[in-house]
Amino acid sequence: MRLRRPASLLLVLALAGAGVAVVAVTASALGRGGLGAAADGPRIARVSVRAVERPFVDEDALAGAAAPAPAPQLLDREVTLDGSGFFGTSFGPFVRFVAPDGTSHDAVMVVIESGGRIVAWPPAGLRGTLQVVVENPDGQRASTTVGL
Amino acid sequence: MRWAAFSPRVIAAVVVSALLAPAAAAQLAAPRAVHASSAAAVAVPPIATFAPGRYAVGSADWDFGTIDITKPGSATETITVQHFGTLRYPAQAVGTGRGPVPKAPVAAGGPFPFVVFSHGRFQEDPYIGHNHEQASYLLDHLASWGFVVASVNLDVVGQYGQPAAIKQRGEIVLATIAAFEQLDPSLYDIDFEHIGLVGHSRGGEGCLAAWKGNTAGYPIRAIATISLTNFQNMSVTGVPYLGLYGSKDGDVNNGWPIQVYDQAEPAPKLFEYIEGANHFWFTDSIHYGGEGAATITREQHHDCARTYITAFLLHALRDAPLPYAELCDGPTLTPVTGPIKIHPLYADPQRLLVNSFEEPGSDPGSNSLGGASVGEALVTQDEENLDNIAKTFYQRTHGGWIAFDSSGGLPEGVAAPVYVEELPGGVDASPYTHLSLNALQRWNAPLNTANQAQDLHVMLVDGSGHSAQVALSDWGTIAWPITHGGAFPKKSVLRTTRIPLREFGQVNPAIDMSDLRLVSLVFDQTPSAELRIDDLGFTR
């Protein structure tokens, strides 16, 4: 069994429209906080999406030294989240995409360019209007809608 | 007494009768001497690594320009990153230089083993990107003991949250060895035949990645990690390994360091579960409020890392006359283990395992030597996988499941619940110095009493029927599991207790260590318990 540090349960938020630009920003107060600039939790001010063709190999899916290399994927959407209060420790920040039926899809790749910008790549083929949720390692989170 | 083809019931009866013998009863009644450590078993003088070593410490920041490493998430592409860090080395005087050239000349007494330190990830805004400067307490200490230590910057891949850029950290570590090998040898008088890797958190796993990716064949002879991650589920094989982990770690709080230890090959391997330590206080100054407070001071975190890692590297890289077992229960550790409770695990490659509980096809009725495993008056005698969070187990090993309840009385003729391992044909334990047992009690099990340690007697019986028993609590403990808040708060972790074999000889001088027939666990110290046991055997 792999033991990735689990994120907190998602808040399933009502969807409000579609589109690329941000239409809603929600920050949860469930986390413990206490980290300097990030103590107030993450904020998403803007989200943008662009189509890409990015080969991807999940290095962390290796199950020990004897396992075969995982099959490459071709990621097709790149989601940029601008805001504030993003940070990472050994884990995170976590990014998830939640479908209207509540199904959650972890981003397969997350890069934190600064405390104000995260770039995330959802699983290939994921489409529609979804909630994108950013969760810091301390459990504080923000979400908004995104059209993929 | 003849031992051919005794049935398990007869074996149990032998132990039970030994328990009922007057000599055994006298042992049980006699006050026990509590031993602080196995000091008398150590034949060589220990090295006290709590204090700084004899060398002045020189330092220099270094920058080798750029290097190309694998792009995270890609099998074929590369990215270019800056390759820089800081260095500590044994110097003739304290001094700080710039670039790879030292200001203070290197000390006499070399060549000095080379150590690469890999820091953890902490990406808080503003992103200064100098986390390689967050272990100066450890770098300075190692240099004072005669190591040249390069702390390499890994923030150059810190932006990658997922995948975790572990392989890339390994590549940068290996590039650091290569770069320093190219320097003028007179600068630091480095012994590149003795290389050690030390890392914290993702940097600790980066050490494992470097070990795995060491196609150049660098003589890496030791790996020590602090609170390492395990994104890639790697195993350490063929190299001595030491892992430190805090019970209050609120970042890598999922038990990964325990699993890495279990998966490591004993070459040997050591693990120190530090009561009250968290994750980020193993740095110079990082404080992460999200993980909760430690219950020991930051300085005590540093004491643990300095003392254990220095002693470990002295043995592995400088051939210090210090048994690895010293880091399990030795007297050198007293400055640390006095004020701080540390629960060790230790596996010696030359050990003789009576029961590893790892044989395929769970068979609680037999042990690793092919002998019978017999219980008497037990509620449970079974085996199970200890990778089971629901039961508060975070191990990557199988163990024996032993439970007993004598609170309502015992069957007639039974003095105490017992668990007996038969040693078929007899075992010559004279090459070994200790009997070793890993054990834990399951958190919140009804048969365990909250906040109380469990105890038992270990009994040896030889081919002539001579027996001797020693209380486990004289030499170790089966502690009530340490807990803390947050995710994964309850952890029941195995702990090694080593009992010197000479103690059995002192209890009964007639016992023949060259012809042992039974090892028994006698549960006569507490009314009930639910335990897991592992790696019962003889060791040094």
Least confident of A81-85, B120-124, B482-486: B482-486
B233/A contact by beta carbon, under 8 A: yes
> Helix, strand, coil: what percent of chain A each, to 5?
5, 40, 55
Report the C-alpha gap between B358 and B391 in whole angstroms.
19
Report the C-alpha gap between B406 and B412 in whole angstroms.
12
3-state secondary structure of B527: coil
Q: Do B387 and A1 touch (CB under 8 A)?
A: yes
Of all residues in chain A, the one with the smallest CA distance to B229 is: A90
A52/B contact by beta carbon, under 8 A: no
Contact B164, B208 (CB under 8 A): no
pLDDT value at residue B459: 98
* Side-chain-facing half-sphere of A85: CA atoms under 13 Å: 24
pLDDT tops 60 at residue B488: yes
Confidence class for position B40, pLDDT limits 50, 70, 90: very low
| Higher-pLDDT residue of B31, A46 | A46
Report the C-alpha gap between B213 and B207 in whole angstroms.
10
What is the distance in angstroms between the Cα of A35 and the nearest Cα belonging to chain B?
A: 5
Position of tokens 């090998």?
A: B181
Q: Find residues 405-464 of chain B whose CB sits inside 8 Å of chain A.
A: none
What is the distance in angstroms between the Cα of B74 and the nearest Cα belonging to chain A?
A: 5
B192/A contact by beta carbon, under 8 A: no
Across the interface, of B125, B160, B487, the residue whose CB is closest to A87 is B125
How many Cβ pairs within 8 Å bridge chains A and B? 135
3-state secondary structure of B259: helix
Least confident of A12-16, A41-45, B6-10, B478-482: A12-16
| Higher-pLDDT residue of B9, B208 | B208
Confidence class for position B243, pLDDT limits 50, 70, 90: very high
pLDDT tops 60 at residue B305: yes
pLDDT per residue as tens digits for the range A82-104: 999 999 999 999 999 999 999 99
Of all residues in chain A, the one with the smallest CA distance to B75 is: A57
Across the interface, of A35, A90, A110, the residue whose CB is closest to B202 is A90
- Other residues' Cβ atoms within 10 Å of the Cβ of residue A62: 20
A109/B contact by beta carbon, under 8 A: yes
Of all residues in chain B, the one with the smallest CA distance to A8 is: B487
Report the C-alpha gap between B318 and B341 in whole angstroms.
28
pLDDT tops 50 at residue A76: yes
Instruction: Please state the pTM of the whole predicted model.
Output: 0.90
pLDDT per residue as tens digits for the range B400-454: 999 999 999 999 999 999 999 999 999 999 999 999 999 999 999 999 999 999 9
- Other residues' Cβ atoms within 10 Å of the Cβ of residue B498: 24
Of all residues in chain B, the one with the smallest CA distance to A58 is: B73
Burial of A13 (0-12, 13-18, 19+ CB in 10 A): middle
Strands B148-152 and B112-118: parallel
Q: Do B74 and A2 touch (CB under 8 A)?
A: no
A97/B contact by beta carbon, under 8 A: no
Q: Do B290 and A89 touch (CB under 8 A)?
A: yes
Contacts by A107-111, CB closer than 8 A, 24 or more apart = A107/A79, A107/B162, A108/A56, A108/A58, A108/A73, A108/A75, A108/B162, A109/A56, A109/A75, A109/B72, A109/B73, A109/B162, A109/B163, A110/B160, A110/B161, A110/B162, A111/B159, A111/B160, A111/B161
Instruction: Fill in the amino acid letter for B469.
Output: Q
Position of tokens 């069957």?
A: B411
pLDDT tops 70 at residue B197: yes
Instruction: Fill in the amino acid letter for A146.
Output: V
A16/B contact by beta carbon, under 8 A: no
Q: Do A4 and B252 touch (CB under 8 A)?
A: no
Q: At what angle do helices B166-181 and B202-212 cross, to 10 degrees?
A: 70
Confidence class for position B94, pLDDT limits 50, 70, 90: confident
B485/A contact by beta carbon, under 8 A: no
Average pLDDT over residues B171-187: 96
pLDDT tops 70 at residue A67: no
Contact A108, A58 (CB under 8 A): yes
Across the interface, of A72, A109, A112, the residue whose CB is closest to B163 is A109
Q: Do B75 and A2 touch (CB under 8 A)?
A: no
* Element of type H or E holding B309: helix B298-318
Average pLDDT over residues B180-199: 96
Contact B302, B280 (CB under 8 A): no
- Tell me the DSSP string of B125-183: SS----GGGTTHHHHHHHHHTT-EEEEEP-GGGTTEEES--HHHHHHHHHHHHHHHHTS
Report the C-alpha gap between B235 and B312 in whole angstroms.
19
Strand ranges (E), B205-349: 220-226, 241-246, 269-274, 342-347
Q: At what angle do helices B298-318 and B136-144 cross, to 10 degrees?
A: 40
Confidence class for position B5, pLDDT limits 50, 70, 90: very low
Burial of A72 (0-12, 13-18, 19+ CB in 10 A): middle
Cα dihedral sign for B442, B443, B446, B449?
A: positive
What is the distance in angstroms between the Cα of B475 and the nearest Cα belonging to chain A?
A: 33
Position of tokens 């810091």?
A: A136
Contacts of B76 in chain A (CB under 8 A): 55
* Side-chain-facing half-sphere of B516: CA atoms under 13 Å: 29
B186/A contact by beta carbon, under 8 A: no
Confidence class for position B10, pLDDT limits 50, 70, 90: low
What is the distance in angstroms between the Cα of A3 and the nearest Cα belonging to chain B?
A: 7
Across the interface, of A34, A86, A113, the residue whose CB is closest to B290 is A34
Contacts of B171 in chain A (CB under 8 A): none
A58/B contact by beta carbon, under 8 A: yes
pLDDT value at residue A20: 29
pLDDT value at residue B146: 97
Of all residues in chain A, the one with the smallest CA distance to B237 is: A65
Q: What share of chain B has pLDDT > 90, as a percent?
A: 80
Burial of B346-372, coded b for 16+ CB within 10 Å and e otherwise, reads bbbeebbbbbbbeeeeeebebbbbebb
pLDDT tops 60 at residue B231: yes
Contact A64, B234 (CB under 8 A): yes
Residues 6 or more apart whose Cβ sits within 8 Å of residue B354: B367, B368, B369, B371, B421, B423, B427, B519, B536, B537, B538
pLDDT value at residue B128: 82
Confidence class for position B386, pLDDT limits 50, 70, 90: very high
Q: At what angle do helices B8-20 and B22-29 cross, to 10 degrees?
A: 60
Tokens, residue A45: 């001010």
Best CA proximity match to A49, nearest among A81, A18, A26: A81
| Higher-pLDDT residue of B125, B80 | B80
Contact A145, A46 (CB under 8 A): no
Give the 3-state secondary structure of B173-219.
HHHHHHHHHCCCCCCCCEEEEEEEEEEECHHHHHHHHHHHCCCCCCC
| Higher-pLDDT residue of B195, B39 | B195
Best CA proximity match to B243, nearest among B267, B263, B223: B223
pLDDT tops 80 at residue A66: no
A38/B contact by beta carbon, under 8 A: yes
Confidence class for position A9, pLDDT limits 50, 70, 90: very low
Tokens, residue B326: 């010293």
Average pLDDT over residues B377-401: 96
pLDDT tops 90 at residue B126: no
A92/B contact by beta carbon, under 8 A: yes
B390/A contact by beta carbon, under 8 A: no
Average pLDDT over residues B471-483: 95
How high does pLDDT run on average in chain B?
Answer: 91
Confidence class for position B46, pLDDT limits 50, 70, 90: low
Report the C-alpha gap between B244 and B200 in whole angstroms.
9
* Element of type H or E holding B537: strand B528-539
Instruction: Mutate one of A1, A89, A106 to test the B interface: name it (highest B CB count within 10 A).
Output: A89
Q: Do A5 and B201 touch (CB under 8 A)?
A: no
Contacts of B120 in chain A (CB under 8 A): 89-90
